[in-house]
Structure 1
Amino acid sequence: MTTARETAESIRAARRPEDLFGAAATDSAARQDARRRYHRLAGIVHPDRVQAVDAGIAGVAFARLAELYRQWLELDEPAFEVTGAHGTYPVGALHASGSVADVYRSGSDRVVKIPRRTAANRLLSGERNALRDIAIVATEHKWPGPYFPELIDTVDHLDSATGEQRTVNVLAALTREFVTLEEVRAAYPGGLDPRDYAWMHRRLLRCLAGAQLAGWVHTAISPANVLVHPRLHGIVLAGWSFATRPGNPAAATLKSLDYPPEIRDAVSPATDVHLAHRLMLTMLGDRAPAALRSYATGCLQSDPRLRPDAADLLGEFDDLLDRLYGKRRFRPFELTKGK
């Protein structure tokens, strides 16, 4: 059986997309073969699925694999479509790869999210339910809308080559000018200026308050799942595949996250509060002022009953920022000027 390390080495040795996926093709069978090969390789080398000792090697290979597959898809126009309740959607170039699903571009204003394995169908179904409930809350209260992905359509896709059913979600694109906190962290490896992260965290708290209103816990608040629009100071909490109803164990977990104790027992909105403030410390690194570090630590208590609600934290966070930095003012944020 091929090990993750051996697979990673074979991916790193590939010099062009054809080395892994064969000659460019327009017929759907060949493109589906390439897609299945990508899914198989991605499942082997995904950093969340390998031992810690191999995580670094796997991470490099996983990123390289995604790039090569993206290049291969762009060699020709897509010949693969999925049909949902409201339309038919071409599956184009790979946009992003998550722990259990891949996100493909579909025209200029849509993305198609497809699980790599049928076992993840239940997680994509959970995402559907969460985003539908959040959309209802956004209709009633208005303010939560901009903080969440928009579910455009749902597809129950039958793979004609394998006979496998895939639960597919079609989402509004959020690809233009949005970057992930993972990319922000890479641009600022020494830690982000707390004054810049302040507006990001404040908006993330509003995301958590909106999710609580809708009756869902995200459970996977990681740098890869928080989208940032640097110019417009926008934040969107994406990656709802692991969303879970309060009172239940998490639908799934990521090896890369430092979870609170209740994650395998009964999650609650306090679980997301814990994860969001662990993320804050990760993003700020050594640049976190003592007052911000103390604030975050208070949200990381092992007993979820002792953690504040996200809605209550908004006022507390604003008061803290006033004490640290004075009157609030708009700070232009440039991703390119990393430090």
Structure 2
Amino acid sequence: MMFTDAVDQIKRASTFAALGEGEATYKAYAKIVHPDAVSEADNATATWAFAALSKLYHERSRLVASGDIADLSAGDDGQLIKVPREPGDNDLMEAEADALRTLREKGDPKYRPYVARLLDTYLHEDEARKRRRVNVIRRLDGFVPLSVVGKRDPRDVAWIWRRLLVGLGWAHQAGVIHGAVLEDHVLIHPGEHGLALVDWCYSGASVKAIVAARKDDYPPEVRNDKRATPATDIYMATALMVRLMDDPPAPLTRFAQGCLYDKPRMRPQDAWRLLHELDETLHSLYGPRKFRPFTV
């Protein structure tokens, strides 16, 4: 497509759908009308066309949620488009993309449902020439964050705890640390007892950022040294489960306390091994596992 043709089509388009669908269409037009890609004589026209294209592209989506650093909008075909509010957080978006790619490439495929799938990642430049790293993620239908669940009977929390340790153990075996196991970052499917970890922007052994409003929920090595290990995820996951349980029995309280020491080396290091210990504790309390319907 020629530059003049692309500009003409953008002028006539009242919605992005008039140009096409998805990120591929946006990228194709952006490549043609970007001000850096044209002659000086066409620069003013290109600047207008690129701004109009960006406006059409973002208006095509509807806001689904606002996270710690980014807004999520519904895109085409079950996509979630995650855009940071500040370009200064592009490194966190890149960390998420790297983590999700690593999990898909190195992690055991049977555990992939424990995370959303990364569909695309790219740099978007807005009309003000600010560049943001955009991650496109497969939407997890039917899932809700633990922040809307509220306190529950420990027997109901048990399946969430077990699945959380499975997901973390899988990530750790692939060499990925989540780094922010908090209520809004753990999604569950109540009917199917599914679980997924989201918002991998804080992943990595070197802590680039934390959720400031939840600073007190991080272990000392994050607050003081900006370091994270698998024991960090285990600490945060345990603290989250403690917050979720209503009147936990003493054996579960003791089990949790063993995962909440200030020093990382004193905590369990292996989530899957810890899962076996949790199963033993649950069996001694409640007997063989039974499916308990869960509603929100």
TM-score (norm 1): 0.69
Please state if 1:325 is matched with 2:286. yes
Q: C-alpha distance in 2, partners of 1:316/1:85?
A: 51
d(CA) in 2 for partners of 1:260, 1:107: 39
Q: Structure 1 residue 83: deviation in Å?
A: 2.8
Q: 1:137 aligns with which of 97, 106, 118?
A: 106
Q: 1:86 to 1:332 in 2, by over 3 A?
A: farther
The reply to whether residue 260 of structure 1 matches residue 227 of structure 2 is: no
Q: 1:272 aligns with which of 210, 229, 233?
A: 233
Q: Distance in 2 between matches of 1:270 and 1:77?
A: 49
Quick one: which amino acid aligns to residue 144 of structure 1?
Y
Alignment correspondent of 1:83: 23
**Runs of 4+, deviation exceeding 4 Å:** 76-82, 84-91
User: In structure 2, the residue corresponding to 1:83 is in which secondary structure?
Assistant: helix
Aligned residues between the structures:
248
Q: Deviations over 1:114-163 (max 9, x none)?
A: 0000011000000000000000133xx2332110111011121111x210
Q: 1:274-319 deviations in whole A, cap 9, x for unaligned? A: 000010111114x211111111111001111111121210100111
What is the distance in 2 between the residues matched to 1:101 and 1:78? 22
Measure the CA separation in 1 of the matches of 2:181 and 2:25: 30
Q: Deviations over 1:165-196 (max 9, x none)?
A: 0100000011x2111100112xxxxx211111
Can you give the 5+ residue segments of structure 2 that lack an aligned partner in the other structure? Answer: 1-9, 29-56
Q: Distance in 1 between matches of 2:63 and 2:82?
A: 10
Question: Are positions 1:281 and 2:248 aligned together?
Answer: no
Counterpart-to-counterpart distance in 2, 1:148 and 1:305: 27
Partner of 1:251 in structure 2? 208
Q: Is the 8 A contact 1:85 1:154 kept in 2?
A: no
Q: CA deviation at 1:87?
A: 7.7
Alpha-carbon distance between aligned partners in 2 of 1:233 and 1:284, rounded to the nearest angstrom: 17
What does residue 154 of structure 1 align with?
121
Report the equivalent of 1:197.
157
RMSD: 2.4
* Mapped pair 1:217 → 2:177: yes
Distance in 1, matches of 2:249 and 2:271, equals 21
What is the CA deviation profile of residues 76-134 of structure 1, one whole-angstrom value per residue up to 9, with x for unaligned ones? Answer: 97789873599888751111111101111113411000000001100000000000000
Worse-matched range after superposition: 81-90 or 324-333 = 81-90
- What secondary structure sits across from 1:152 in the alignment? strand
- Counterpart CA distance in 2 for 1:142 and 1:87 is 30
Q: Is the 8 A contact 1:85 1:155 kept in 2?
A: no
**Paired residue type of 2:187:** L
- Partner in structure 1 of residue 132 of structure 2: 166
Instruction: Say which SS state the counterpart of residue 110 (structure 2) adopts.
Output: coil
Contact between 1:84 and 1:156, CA under 8 Å: does it hold in 2?
no
- Aligned sequence identity (%): 40
- Asked whether the 8 Å contact 1:121–1:167 carries over to 2, the reply is yes
Contact 2:22–2:76 (CA under 8 A) maintained in structure 1 = no
Letter in 2 for 1:192: R
Q: Which has the larger radius of gyration?
A: 2
Deviations 1:12-45 (A, max 9, x none): xxxxxxxxxxxxxxxx9xxxxxxxxxxxxxxxxx
CA distance in 1 between partners of 2:91 and 2:25 (Å): 19
TM-score by length of 2: 0.78
Unaligned runs of 5+ in 1: 1-27, 29-75, 186-190
Aligned to 1:312: 273
CA distance in structure 2 between the aligned counterparts of 1:299 and 1:145, rounded to whole angstroms? 26
Report how far residue 322 of structure 1 moved. Answer: 0.4
Corresponding residue number in structure 1 for 2:147: 182
Deviation (angstroms), 1:329: 1.1
Q: Which residue identity is paired with 1:154?
A: T
